[in-house]
Amino acid sequence: MHDVAGKEIIQDMETCPLVSIIVLTFNSEATLLETLNSLLKQEYSPIEIIICDDGSKDHTVEVATQWIAENEQHFQRVVILAAAANQGICSNVHKGYAEAKGVWIKPIAGDDFIFPGAIARYVEFAQKTNCAVVVSAVLPFVDSSKIDVSKDKVIPGQQDIEIIAGSSSGLQQALYVRNLIPAPGILLRRADYNEVGGIDRRFFHLDDWPLWLNLLAKNKNFAYLAEPLVAYRISESTISAARNATGMNQQFLEDHVTLYKNYQIANLNGLQRWDRMLEIFRFKLAKGALRPYPRIYQMTGLLRLSSPLYVALKLGISKNSREKLDSQFVAR
């Protein structure tokens, strides 16, 4: 089999299991072609593509439909699942993963893209390490025409890399405090995903963080691949919203309250619990009483001075990252 450029595609059913690429879209018409065309540059087979649209109001579905008509012959299967109305990222991810037939699942947002040869590299590494989840480096970008992998900074940072590449117990404890897994960079074994019950449907936007914790609770292992295989688009709206929680999606803030109640509170030590409780209290204010008053909300940051962990971080006594809503991983 050959790709659109005529290159021979790796195809050996014994060593190359089916990979399901789940393309998650919502009002993605301006960027979707770049995402989908990056899938044509994968020198690997078999691949199935499942495009899951979460009730887009623009021409995302039409763009996807036209692309499928022109390119579906290059893949084992290509389908589009379009919701009539927006139901949230968790519902969209659940829908796509449920449709997947591959041994491995690779999610990608409709405004990000996968570098050439990435899928082959993911599978090779996954088989070598026999892990449930591969976490690759991710390259954040604003303008794809200016990307230079040799110069640009990738995520996660070195401290988080050491945790991800370390013991499962260490990663689990770190994840109780904060989400350090860059979701755009993961490859997930479908059987393990199904074993833990899939996406926790109590959440609207927060699909990945609870899933990591549920996988680790079932003794599933993660492995870090120190190569940037995915480019993650940081939009101006995401950056500006992350400057103040009052600009964030209210349901996303509520998801963090749900996470605290169901996953964190029972697994944090006293100081961690106090630090996180302060943040949860501020998130409640940000989605409620203080939402119309971002400047007043900023003043609530003084509450953090009552957290020994926060003070230690600011004084340079502790090098551990304080829990925060990281703009790099805010669900869109």
46: preceding bond cis by omega (within 30 degrees): yes
Choice between 10 and 37, residue whose per-residue pLDDT is larger: 37
pLDDT, one tens digit per residue, over 32-46 is: 999 999 999 999 999
Q: What percent of the chain has pLDDT over 70?
A: 89
Smallest CA-to-CA distance from 95 within 12, 25, 6, 19 is with: 25
pLDDT of residue 242: 52
pLDDT, one tens digit per residue, over 42-81 is: 999 999 999 999 999 999 999 999 999 999 999 999 999 9
- At 63, phi and psi to the nearest 5? -60, -45
Average pLDDT estimate for 105-132: 97
Q: What is the pTM of this model?
A: 0.89
Q: Which residues contact 126 (CB under 8 A, 6 or more apart)?
A: 104, 134, 187, 189, 223
Q: Residue 233: how many CA atoms within 13 Å on its side-chain side?
A: 20
Using 50, 70 and 90 to split pLDDT, how confident is the model at 145?
Answer: confident
With contact defined as beta carbons under 8 Å apart, do 195 and 175 qualify? no
With contact defined as beta carbons under 8 Å apart, do 78 and 49 qualify? yes
User: How high does pLDDT run on average in the chain?
Assistant: 90
Q: CA 218, CA 28: separation in Å to the nearest integer? A: 35
pLDDT, one tens digit per residue, over 292-322 is: 999 999 999 999 999 999 999 888 886 654 4
